[in-house]
C-alpha cells in the first residue's frame, strides 16, 4: 500500500479524542466529589483507578493486536471508553466510578500501545521508510495531536463552564468525545505491514520527539527517579488544587482555564527544550526546580485566582525541563544499548508517579490543604537535592549535531 493510499488522520484524531476524554473527566471528578462532600482521601483513591490499571494493562495486553488486528483492538478499546462514559451519564457513585476508572485503565492498555504500533508500522512503509522528513512529520503530528487534545478540551471546558456553571456538563462532553472516537476507530485502516515491537505510551499528555544524539554516560536510575517525581507533582496538583478551588469558591471554569494555561506552556517549552543539549538542560534543572518548589509552596498560601494564573503558568513552563531532561536521557540510553526497554521503564515510573499522587495528595488534603502543598514543595526540594548529588554522574563526552 503506497503512502498516499493510507489515511493517517484517524490515528491523529483518535489520539486527540482520547486525551480530551481523559483530561475532561480527570478534572471533573475531583470537582464533583468535593461538591458532594466526599473526603479528599477517598477522592484520591477513586481518581487513582485509571493509573492503577494502566501500570499493568499495557504489558498484559501487549499481544492482543497481534492476534485480532490493530483495527479491531482499537474498536474494542474505544467501545469500552464509550460504555464507561455512557455509564457516567447516569451513575456517579464513588465505588462504581472507581471500578469504571480501573476498567478505563485496562482499555487504555489496548489503546495507546496499539496506536503507537500503527504509527511505527506506517513509518516503516515504502514512501516513509526512505524519507526521514515524512517520518518526522508523522511523529510530530501524532505527538501534537494528543497534546492539542488536552489543550482544546481544557479550553472548551473553560468556555462551557463560563456560561453554565455545572460540572455535569463535562461528563456530557466526554461522552461526545467517546462517540466520535468510536466512529474514527471504525473507519481506521489497518497499517499496510505488521509490526511486532511493543510500544508503550504514557498516561500523561506530554509532547514527545526525538532529541539530538549525544555520547553520554550516566546511571539509569537518575532519569527514572526524576520522571517519577515529574508525574507525582502533576498528579498531586491535579487532585489538591481542584479541592482548594472549591474551598475558596472560585468559579468552576477557572479550573479548566488554569490547566489550559499550564498545558499550553508545558507543550511549548517541552517542544522547544527538546532542541537543547543535555549540558544546557543540566544547567536549567537546578534553577527550574528551585522556582517550581517556591511556586508550589505559594500555592498553599495564596487565595487569589489571578495569582494562581501566574503560578500555573510558571509551573507549566519550568516543570517541563524535568520531563525533557529525563526523557532525553532515556532515549539516549535506548540508542546506546540498541533497545527500547528503557522507554518501558520510563513510562512505568511515570505511571507510578501518577498512581501515588492522588492517594498521597488526598491523605494530606484531608489533613489540611496548605500542608498538602507544603509537602509537595518539600518533595520538589528533595528532588533538587537528589539532582545536585547525582548531576556529576551524568557525563557528556561528545555533543554532535542532529544527524537527521
Q: Which residues of the chain have pLDDT under 70?
A: 1-5, 129, 132, 192-215, 339-340, 397-404
Q: Is 105 helix (H, G, I), strand (E, B) or coil?
A: helix
Secondary structure letter of residue 3 according to DSSP = G
143, 239: one domain: no
Residues 269, 133 share a domain:
no
d(CA 65, CA 200): 13
The pLDDT of residue 341 is 74
DSSP 217: E
Domain identity same for 190 and 330: no
Same domain membership, residue 270 and residue 251: yes
In this prediction, residue 185 carries a pLDDT of 96
Structural domain span for residue 344: 202-404
- What is the model's pLDDT at position 403? 37
Same domain for 181 and 330, yes or no, is: no
- Residue 390, pLDDT score: 94
The 3-class secondary structure across 273-316, one letter per residue, is HCCCCHHHHHHHHHHHHHHHHHHHHHHCCCCCHHHHHHHHHHHH
> How many structural domains comprise the chain?
2
- Determine the pLDDT at residue 193: 62
What pLDDT, on the 0 to 100 scale, is given for residue 114? 85
Q: Mind listing the pLDDT tens digit for each residue in 33-42? A: 999 999 999 9
Quote the pLDDT of residue 95.
97
Whether 231 and 318 share a structural domain:
yes
Residue length, the chain?
404
Q: What is the pTM of this model?
A: 0.88
- Residue 147 and residue 39 share a domain: yes
Among 146, 171, 198, identify where a domain stops.
198
Return all residues near 195 (Cβ < 8 A) that are at least 6 apart.
117, 120, 121, 124
Residue closest to 122 by CA, chosen among 138, 137, 101? 138
Query: What's the Cα-to-Cα distance from 67 to each of 71, 151, 206, 228, rounded to whole Å?
Result: 11, 35, 30, 33
Burial of 327 (0-12, 13-18, 19+ CB in 10 A): buried
Q: Using alpha carbons only, how large is the chain's radius of gyration in Å?
A: 21
Please check whether residues 105 and 38 belong to one and the same domain: yes
Residue position matching grid coordinates 481542584 = 242
Q: Are residue 47 and residue 74 in the same domain, yes or no? A: yes
User: Read out DSSP for 65-96?
Assistant: HHHH-HHHHHHHHHHHHHHHHHHHTT---HHH
Q: What pLDDT is attached to residue 5?
A: 62
Helix (H) or strand (E) holding 216: strand 214-217
398 membership: H or E segment, kind and range: strand 395-399
Phi, psi (5° rounding) for residue 216? -130, 160
Task: Supply the pLDDT for residue 209.
Answer: 52
The pLDDT of residue 397 = 66
The per-residue pLDDT for 49 is: 95
Q: Which residues, listed in sequence order, are joined to residue 215 by a DSSP beta bridge?
A: 398
CATH code (residue 276): 1.20.1250
Note whether 167 and 307 are same-domain residues.
no
* Residue 258 shares a structural domain with residue 224: yes
Residue 250 sits in the same domain as residue 143: no
Amino acid at each position: 500500500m503506497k503512502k498516499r493510499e493510507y489515511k493517517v488522520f484517524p490515528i491523529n484524531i483518535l489520539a486527540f479524542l482520547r486525551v480530551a476524554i481523559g483530561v475532561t473527566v480527570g478534572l471533573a471528578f475531583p470537582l464533583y466529589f468535593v461538591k458532594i462532600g466526599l473526603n479528599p482521601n477517598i477522592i484520591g483513591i477513586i481518581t487513582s483507578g485509571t493509573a492503577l490499571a494502566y501500570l499493568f494493562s499495557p504489558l498484559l495486553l501487549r499481544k492482543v493486536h497481534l492476534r485480532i488486528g490493530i483495527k479491531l483492538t482499537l474498536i474494542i478499546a474505544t467501545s469500552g471508553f464509550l460504555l464507561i462514559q455512557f455509564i457516567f451519564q447516569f451513575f456517579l457513585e464513588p465505588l462504581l466510578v472507581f471500578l469504571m476508572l480501573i476498567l478505563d485503565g485496562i482499555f487504555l492498555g489496548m489503546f495507546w500501545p496499539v496506536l503507537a504500533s500503527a504509527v511505527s508500522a506506517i513509518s516503516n512503509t515504502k514512501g516513509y521508510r526512505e524519507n526521514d522528513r515524512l517520518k518526522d512529520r508523522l511523529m510530530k503530528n501524532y505527538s501534537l495531536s494528543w497534546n492539542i487534545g488536552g489543550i482544546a478540551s481544557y479550553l472548551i471546558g473553560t468556555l462551557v463552564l463560563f456560561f453554565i456553571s455545572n460540572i455535569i456538563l463535562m461528563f456530557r462532553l466526554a461522552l461526545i468525545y467517546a462517540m466520535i472516537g468510536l466512529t474514527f476507530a471504525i473507519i481506521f485502516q489497518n497499517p499496510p505491514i505488521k509490526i511486532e515491537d511493543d510500544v508503550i505510551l504514557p498516561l500523561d499528555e506530554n509532547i514527545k520527539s526525538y532529541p539530538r544524539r549525544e555520547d553520554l554516560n550516566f546511571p539509569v536510575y537518575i532519569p527514572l527517579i526524576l520522571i517519577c517525581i515529574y508525574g507525582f507533582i502533576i498528579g498531586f496538583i491535579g487532585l489538591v488544587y481542584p479541592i482548594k478551588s472549591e474551598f475558596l469558591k472560585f468559579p468552576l471554569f477557572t479550573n479548566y482555564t488554569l490547566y489550559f494555561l499550564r498545558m499550553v506552556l508545558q507543550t511549548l517549552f517541552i517542544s522547544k527544550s527538546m532542541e537543547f543539549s543535555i549540558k544546557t538542560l543540566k544547567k536549567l534543572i537546578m534553577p527550574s526546580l528551585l522556582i517550581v518548589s517556591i511556586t508550589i509552596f505559594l500555592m498553599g498560601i495564596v487565595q487569589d485566582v489571578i495569582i494562581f494564573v501566574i503560578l500555573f503558568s510558571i509551573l507549566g513552563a519550568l516543570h517541563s525541563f524535568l520531563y525533557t531532561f529525563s526523557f532525553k536521557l532515556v532515549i539516549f540510553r535506548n540508542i546506546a544499548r540498541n533497545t527500547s526497554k528503557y522507554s518501558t521503564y520510563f513510562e512505568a515510573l511515570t505511571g507510578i508517579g501518577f498512581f501515588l499522587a492522588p492517594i498521597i495528595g488526598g491523605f494530606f488534603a484531608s489533613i489540611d490543604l496548605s500542608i498538602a502543598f507544603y509537602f509537595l514543595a518539600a518533595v520538589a526540594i528533595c528532588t533538587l537535592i537528589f539532582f545536585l548529588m547525582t548531576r556529576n554522574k551524568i557525563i557528556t563526552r561528545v555533543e554532535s549535531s542532529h544527524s537527521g
